[in-house]
Amino acid sequence: MAAEPVEQLARQALDLARNSLLVNLRFMGAAFARLSLLPISGATLATDGAHLRYDPAAIARLYAAEPAALARAYLHVVLHNVFLHPYPGEQVDAARWDAACDIVVERVIGELDLPAARTARAARQQAALARIDAVLPLATAETVYRHLADEGLSDEELAELRAPFYADDHEPWHRVLAAEGARGG
């Protein structure tokens, strides 16, 4: 398959995923529109707050396998931007911040219970969400981050906790923060 047809398929898949979500979330139209699509072969799904970076072949495969998984991942990324997750403070532990942000957006997606975003992975999230909900009546990225810090989880335990919530790469968030710190701004 040539690169151009794959890019077209991926773009169509993203458009279909977005439209399937906007049927129920019309008020989110501006949030979806703020992200410029940035196809990069071999890239991970990620946002820097302005772009949605993706690998066209990976998007086409994901959509072919489970259209709802692509819709859920797209909503996941958009919600990170709505909640300003790509802009952590300088002193945050990146792994804990990433886990907290993923847990919070997946919790919101689960509460929305949109047909277009129902996937098998939601069931794998339930045990962790039940534990967090038991101690945090209001779960924001900040409160979940503090909870994860207080629990003193090892790196392996944190990675295991985050796994069912993972949808996108947060590396651009921390790269931008590091670049701003190096510039002194």
- Do residues 109 and 121 make contact, with C-beta atoms less than 8 angstroms apart? no
With a cut of 60, say whether residue 180 has pLDDT above it: no
Structural domain boundaries of the chain?
3-67
Both tokens of 165, joined, read 């919530």
Residue 183's pLDDT is 62
Residues 6+ apart with CB under 8 A from 148: 96, 99, 100, 158, 161
Residue 137 has what pLDDT? 83
Of all residues in the chain, what percent carry a pLDDT higher than 70? Answer: 93
Q: What is the pLDDT of residue 1?
A: 47
Structure tokens at 80: 């990170």
Burial 16-25 (b: 16+ CB within 10 A, else e): ebbebbeeeb
165/119 Cα distance (integer angstroms)? 12
Q: What is the arithmetic mean of pLDDT over 61-66?
A: 97
* Per-residue pLDDT at 179: 61
What is the average per-residue pLDDT within 13-19? 98
Q: What is the average per-residue pLDDT within 93-108?
A: 97
Calculate mean pLDDT across residues 42-63. 96
- N-term to C-term CA, the chain: 44
